[in-house]
Structure 1
C-alpha cells in the first residue's frame, strides 16, 4: 500500500515506480530525481534528506538491483579509437547506440558480452582483457515513461574484422559532438 502512496505523492505519472522489494526507497527516489519526475512533495522529501546527508538519494541509487519490469538490463562493449566511440544504427531507427546485448540470466558478464559481440559483429573478444567502465541508466528509448535502460559497460580487445549482422544498417565512430544522435541512456552518460 505504501508503494502506491509514494507513487502517487512523490512522482508524476511518468516516474520510475516505487515497489521493487530489492530496492530501497532512497534508491527509487534518486532514480526519479535523475529523471526529473519528482512531484513537489517528492522534491521536498529529497531536500529534507539532502539536509541530513547531501545528495542522499543520488548516492543511494542501487545499480545492482535485480532487473524488474521497470529496468531493462544490458551489457555493452565500449570500443574507442582515435577519440571516437564505436556505435551502431539499426534499420528503421533514428538514433545510434553503443553495441550491447541483453543480460542473460545464469551467464557471467563476460559470457554475455562474448556472445553479443559475436552475434552483432562476428568478432571474438578477449575476455581476459575486459575492463569495467561503469553502469549507466536513463529512460529507455521507445518504452513507456519510467522504464529504465541500464547499461553495464566494459572495454575489451577483439580479434577479427567488424562485420555487422543484417539488422544493423550502419557502423559509425562518433565523437562527443555527436552525442545528440545517441539514444537517451548513451547520450546522458556520454
Structure 2
C-alpha cells in the first residue's frame, strides 16, 4: 500500500444536493476541504481549508463528525490512499469560490461519477440516509 493522504471535508447540503468544488485545471469535483498541516486537528484543518476555498467561516461549535472514508486515489498508476474525515457545520458569510477554485456546483447523486472515489463513498452514505437526491 502506498502513502496515505490525510484530508478533511465539509459536507454542506441544500435542497438534497451537496456543495462541490472543482480546482483549477482539474476535471473532478470534490467535497470542499483539504490536507492537514503538521500538528493541526481535524477541526483546525476544516476551518482553515473552508475559509481558504469558499471564503466563509465555519462556526467551530457547530462542527460535527459525519463519517471517515478511505479509498484509492483516482489517478492511474498512483498507489496512494485518501482518508477523508467528513464534517458538517454551520457557517457565516457568503459562499464564493476563492482564486484556487475554478467552479462551485450543487451536486446530486447523479453527479457521483464526477467526483473522486473517496467522495463517492460519502455520496453513497448521504443517499442511503435520504439526505442526497
Q: Is the TM value for this pair above 0.5?
A: yes
Q: Residues 22-61 of structure 1 correspond to what in structure 2 (within 5 A)? A: none
Secondary structure of the corresponding residue to residue 51 of structure 2? helix
1:144 positional shift? 3.5
Cα distance in 1 for residues equivalent to 2:25 and 2:36:
24
Deviation per CA, 1:129-159: give whole Å up to 9, x if none: 0110111111113364431011001000000
- Give the TM-score, by structure 2 length: 0.86
State the structure with bigger RCO (CA 8 A, min sep 6), 1 or 2. Answer: 2
Higher helix share: 1
Q: How many residues align?
A: 123
Equivalent residue number for residue 97 of structure 1: 30
* Structure holding more strand per residue: 2
Given candidates 157, 161, 165, the residue that maps to 2:94 is 161
Matches within 5 A, 1:58-77: 70-77=3-10
Q: Distance in 1 between matches of 2:85 and 2:43?
A: 11
* Alignment deviations for residues 107-131 of structure 1 (CA, whole Å, 9 cap, x no partner): 2221111111111111110010011
Whose radius of gyration is greater, 1 or 2?
A: 1
Q: What stretches of structure 1 move > 6 A for 4+ residues in a row?
A: none
CA RMSD of aligned residues (A): 1.4
Aligned 1:4-153 pairs, distance under 5 A: 16=1, 70-142=3-75, 144-153=77-86
In structure 1, distance between residues paired with 2:43 and 2:76: 27
Where structure 2 has 5 or more consecutive residues not aligned to the other structure, the ranges are 124-133
